Every structure is written in C-alpha cells, then in structure tokens.
Amino acid sequence: MTSWDGLNSAYFSLDKDDHIFNALVTSIVEHQLLPGSKLPEEALAEVFGVSRTGIRRVLQRLAAVQLITLTPKRGAQVATPSADASRDLFATRRMLECANLSAVVAHCQPPHLAAMKNIVRDEQQAHDAHDGAAAIRLSAAFHVQLQAISGNAVLTELVSQLTLRSSLVVAAWGAPWQQGCRCHDHDELLALLKKRDTAALTAHMHQHFDAILSSLRFEATPEKVPDFSRIFAPYAAALNSKE
C-alpha cells in the first residue's frame, strides 16, 4: 500500500497499530489535527475501540517521528515546531532537494513528466475546490515524486519524512488560507524540468522555499481538544469491519 504522499511505504498494513498510526498521521499532516491539539489516550481508545495500551504504543511511534510530543502529566499533543526549528527544517529541505536536482534532470523521462503533470493538475483542482486536505497531500507528493525521479531511494524517503513535518510547520505558522505550496510554483518548476534547465530549476526551487518561509507567521497557536469521533469515524469503521 502507498503512503499519503504516494510513496510505496511501510506506513500502512493490516495491523491495528499501523491502521491507527496511519489515521493519526494523515489527520495531522492534512491539518485535521492542528499543532497543539491534545491527544488523550482514553478518548482515542474509545474512538478506535482498542485499549489505552495500544494507543500508547501508537503515540510513542508518532513521538519518534516528531509529529507529536509526549510530556509527563500533560500527555500527548500534536507537535508545534518552534520558529527556529521551522526555519531549519525548510533550510534542510532546500539544501537536499536543490542539490539533487541535477540527478533528477539526468534521469527524467517522458513518463516522469506525465506523472508530474498529473500531480500539478490534481493539485490545482484541489485548490479550486477548496479541498485543503487533498491540496496538502498533492503538494507533498509533487516534491517527493520529483526527487524520486533521480532514483535515490534514501534521499526520497528522507524528503518524504520531512514533508510530514513541513505540514506541521504550515499548520502552526501558515496563513489560515495556506494549503500546501503555491500551485503556480510547481507548474513553473515542471516547465523548467521539461526544458532540462538545471540551473534555472535549482534557482526557482530556492525561490520556492524562500517564498514558503516568508509566508509563515510565527505567532502562538492555542491548544485544543479535537472532535475525535468526527475525524476518525471512517478509520474506526474500517478497523471494526476487519474484526
């Protein structure tokens, strides 16, 4: 099965823990669970119909990939990246993704371009339909699948992991209307890839990340307890149907 950003990944399986982990990851990166949201074990256990011990295992996994924080007495919360950490994350992505673009251009073939064109088209449609979750998912898929063209599986998986955390940054510090990246940037990046203009492609990718950073507003985000029954109803139903 593929992950939320389109990679063939081990995020998902038929295991109950993996199913719950996937549900939480998807809800976090698609901004249904916002930074600072509390994740009470009892409430999650009730929604998914599992023990608190099972929920605790999943929360520990989420903490290991830095999507949530676990604090004694306060419990679990969706992580809120600091301003410095947010800047460092996008600086790291810019460094990695730009450095690999020469390999992307060298390995790019017509089927790659067609697949990327489909992502950009679907992303624009998601924005037009005000489908924030799809726009975020497709924005990440653009970056991940672009790097995948190079054939460097290690770097591609790393970029995939960083896009998860990038979504938290945008949720915490982005403008209310901000959903993923700017579509026209991806369209222009794709046009430069088609021309095989590595220098221009690299320069535009630098500008792309600079634009994301400049759009962030580093202000406090309030804590809240989400409506788990609404968010996870489809996942809980799917989980129960397998029993």
The pLDDT of residue 1 = 38
The pLDDT of residue 145 = 96
Q: Would you call 38 helix, strand, or coil by DSSP?
A: strand
The pLDDT of residue 11 = 44
Q: What is the DSSP letter of 2?
A: B
Helix, strand, coil shares of the chain, percent, nearest 5, are 65, 5, 30
Give the tens place of pLDDT for each residue, 131-158.
888 888 899 999 999 999 999 999 999 9
The CA distance from 78 to 126, in Å, is: 25
**Tokens representing 205?**
């990718």
Domains and CATH numbers, the chain: 16-80+221-241 (1.10.10.10), 83-215 (1.20.120.530)
| Sites in the chain below the pLDDT cut of 50 | 1-2, 4, 10-13, 222
**Tokens representing 29?**
């990166």
Q: What global pTM score does this model have?
A: 0.78
The CA distance from 195 to 73, in Å, is: 56
- Closest among 15, 42, 20 to 231, alpha carbons compared: 20
**166 alpha carbon, distance to own chain's centre:** 6
**178 alpha carbon, distance to own chain's centre:** 14
The pLDDT of residue 176 = 56
